[in-house]
Each structure stands twice: as C-alpha cells, then as structure tokens.
Amino acid sequence: MNEDVLRQYLFKETEIVQKIITRMAYNSFLIKGWSVTLVVASLLFKGNSYHYFVAFVPWFVFWCLDAYFLRIEKLYRYYYDWLIKNRLSNDENLLDMNSENLEKRFKDKIPCLVQTALSKTLIIFYGVLGLIIISFILINYYPLWIQS
C-alpha cells in the first residue's frame, strides 16, 4: 500500500482507538461511582450485627472490574502509541480493534490484571474505601466488644 492510503488508515484507526480509550475511562468512572454508592448503601442498612461485612462484596467486585477496564485502557493506549510509530511503515492488522488480538500482540508490554489492581490510583481509591468500611465496622462493633 502507498503512504497516502496508510495515512488514511492511521487517521481512522487512531480515531477509533481514542473513542475506545474514552469509553474505557468512562466505564472506570462509572464503576467508581457505583462502588461508593453500593458500599455506602450497604453500610447504612440496619440488620443483624454481621451485615456490615456485606459492604466488602461490592468493594471487591468493583475493584476487580475497575482493574479490568483500566488494563484494557492501557492496552489500547499502548496500541495507540504503536499506531503512531509504525502504521505508516507497516500494514499488518489494519483496523484490528479486537482486544483479544491486541492482548496476544502486546501482553508483555502492559501489566497483568493483579498489577493493574495494585496500581497507585486504584490502591488509593479502594484502600480509602476499604478503610471506611473497616472504620464503620469498628465504630459499630465497639460497643459489642465492651459488653462481652
């Protein structure tokens, strides 16, 4: 293919990748909002003395989902950089936006799901949320510990 055609593919591919990255960032934003909402809602319900531990379920599930979307976003960011550097000289995998194919191509270049879950941004957000759950449990269980 000539360079003009590859340049048109480059513009189209970068546009598509930018939209995918934006969608993944928006998903991560929504997940953070839902995690706070469901954790706070589960802490505010009154029930037996162990119901506060239910707050750890949405906390953990949304942490894993957030790590997944952040990892996919990093995958597409790496692909975007690859496109900018290589598309004009290379026509392999034109318009291939399948995340599974990208995973096979770039899996050594991006961190795994556990490393992503333990990244600074997610540790800070979900760590603070976890500390809120633990402090709420301790505050509400402390009178029970004094009585026994």
Residue spans of the domains in the chain: they are 3-147
Query: Contact, 75 vs 20, CB < 8 A?
Result: no
Burial of 8 per CB tally in 10 Å (0-12, 13-18, 19+)? exposed
Residue type, 102: L
Query: Contact, 93 vs 6, CB < 8 A?
Result: no
Residue % of the chain over a pLDDT of 70: 93
Q: Which tens digit of pLDDT belongs to each residue from 64-96?
A: 999 999 999 999 999 999 888 887 787 777 777
Q: Which tens digit of pLDDT belongs to each residue from 96-115?
A: 787 888 888 888 899 999 99
